[in-house]
Every structure is written in structure tokens, then in C-alpha cells.
Amino acid sequence: MILSRALLKRHTVLPGFDLALGFALLYLSLIVLVPLSAAFLKTFTLSWSEFVAAVSTPRVMASYRLTFGASFLAALLNAFFGLIVAWVLVRYTFPAKRLIDALVDLPFALPTAVAGIALTAIYAQNGWIGRWLPFKVSFTPLGVWVALVFIGLPFVVRTLQPVLEDVSRELEEAAATLGASRWQTFMKVIFPILLPALMTGFALAFARALGEYGSVIFIAGNMPMISEITPLLIITKLEQYDYAGATAIAVVMLVAAFMLLLTINVLQAWSRRRQGGL
């Protein structure tokens, strides 16, 4: 009764608001909010200078460079090929299209550890693909990038597909009637419609890659300063019972993740507006 009186904006005949919202809030708090706030509270046991020192040692800085850099480049490749895959799946017909469409979600469904050992085996120097390459992939930063491409693959495809399906053919016909080439139509008519969704997909893939652990640690080789990702560094600190140090790095990653979440929300709102306006 208290919840409904305090929060409801208008009268309703439907029952269950207090029970449903009450349970949801309790569960959300116990599972997510209180534990997450524990991370922030723990860092208060450090002074500001201790915190800065913990999150900016050369080894930690090297791990940020690798994690953010590889995640960015992986999301970039996914944006490019994700656009092609989504385009091909929506616009063309070809054999086994449905199968391929369904398999796009494989990185969501395949456990990260399984993906990790499979990618390591393929891209090792005697692996199916690795033996044909003139450079090493497994156990180098390049391997980190390969794993992050794998896990980010579905995001761009899946955010673009519905938008691409909704692009009205009349706009393209109008462009063609007015003398635009197909390339001009794509660049000036279709691409601007897709851009917000493309950026959303990019941001989602980037955010996922930042926190990824399971698929990366098998293929990375995990050499400090070279191929050690930030989530692994958190675990290493934890295993040395340096809880405060581990948490400080975790808080840096959490803040980055929350800022990305905010960006994604803004991008999604933009995407909806752009679609709604057409």
C-alpha cells in the first residue's frame, strides 16, 4: 500500500503493484545494488593517493591500454563486417541463409571458456588457421583481439537487422528517380538512417569486450605488460589477497562501464527518434 500511494501516477484497477514492485526492488537490491555498492565502499578504505597509486602502476596502465585498445579495434571490425552481414541477411537471398542467421547468435550461446580454447587451438602456430599466417596470433595481444571479435560479433548484426528491415524502399526509389547512383543512395540515404543503430551496436560490442574474461585468458598468454587484460589483473590481485587493490581497479572499470551504459541509452534514444521520424 505504501509503494502504490507514494509512486503511482494515476489510479488503477489492476492489483499486485505493491507485491510485484516490492519483491522486484528487494531482489534487485540484494543481488545487484548492495553488492555493487560494496565495491565502492571498499575503495573508501584507501586514501585518494593510495587509490590513484593502485590504479596507475605501469602494469595496470599497460592492461588498460590493451583492454581498451583491443576492445575498440574488435568493435570496429565488428561494426564493419556486422553491417555487411546484416545487409546480406536482410536484403539478399542465398543458400543456408536461415542457418547463418541463427548462427550469428552463437557467441551469445557458446560458453566463453569453450570459445577460448577453440580459438586458441585454431590460431596457434600449428592450428587450422594459425599455420597459414606469417605471424603469431595465439599468446599475443593479437589473440586478445581475435577473442574479442568473436564475442562481440552478434551485437552489431542484431541491432542493425530490425532497423534495416524498416528502411522504406520508397526513399531509395525516390533517390534513384532523382538520379542518385546506388552508392550515393547508400551513403546519403540509407547510411544516415543506420548510423545510430550502428553506433549502438558498436558501443554494445565495445562494452562487452571491456569486461570479457573467459575467452581471452586462454588465447592471450597473459604476460604482464604485454598481453594481460584488466579483468585478469583484478583476479591476480584478489589471489594475492590485495582486496583493496583489486577493488580499486574494479571501480575504474565499473565507472567506464556505467559511462558506456549511459552512452548506449542516449544512442538508443537517438536511434528510436530517427526511425520514428521516417
Q: Does 9 bind other proteins (CB under 8 A)?
A: yes
Work out which of 23, 52, 125, 166 binds other proteins, going by CB under 8 A: 23
- Can you tell me the distance from the alpha carbon of 244 to that of 204, in angstroms, rounded to the nearest whole number? 29
Asked if 119 is part of the footprint of other proteins (rule: CB under 8 A), the reply reads yes
Applying the rule CB under 8 A, the residues between 245 and 274 that interact with other proteins are 246-247, 250, 253-254, 257-258, 260-261, 265
Query: Quick one: DSSP state of residue 96?
Result: T
**DSSP-derived 3-state class of residue 152:** helix
Stretch of 57-65, 118-126, 137-145, 193-201 lying at the interface with other proteins (CB under 8 A): 118-126
- Using rule CB under 8 A, residue 133 touches other proteins: no
Asked if 108 is part of the footprint of other proteins (rule: CB under 8 A), the reply reads yes
φ/ψ of residue 6, rounded to 5? -80, -35
Quick one: which of 152, 155, 168, 259 has its CA closest to 197?
155
Q: Is 73 in the site for other proteins (CB under 8 A)?
A: no
> Interface residues for other proteins in 139-168 (CB under 8 A)?
146, 149-150, 153
Distance CA 135, CA 139 (A): 11
Our CB check for other proteins shows the closer of 52 and 106 to be 106
Q: Given the C-alpha cell 484497477, which residue does it identify?
A: 13
Q: What is the dihedral of CA 115, 118, 123, 124, to 10 degrees?
A: 130
Alpha-carbon span 180 to 166, nearest angstrom: 21
3-state secondary structure of 243: helix
The site that binds other proteins (CB under 8 A) totals a number of residues, namely 96
- Cα–chain center distance at 20: 30
Residue 13 in contact with other proteins, rule: CB under 8 A? yes
Please report, as residue ranges, which positions from 191 to 230 form the binding site for other proteins (by CB under 8 A): 207, 210-214, 218
Interface with other proteins includes 5 (CB under 8 A)? no
Window contacting other proteins (CB under 8 A); options: 52-60, 135-143, 242-250, 270-278: 242-250
- Which stretch in 4-12, 46-54, 136-144, 193-201 sits in contact with other proteins by CB under 8 A? 4-12
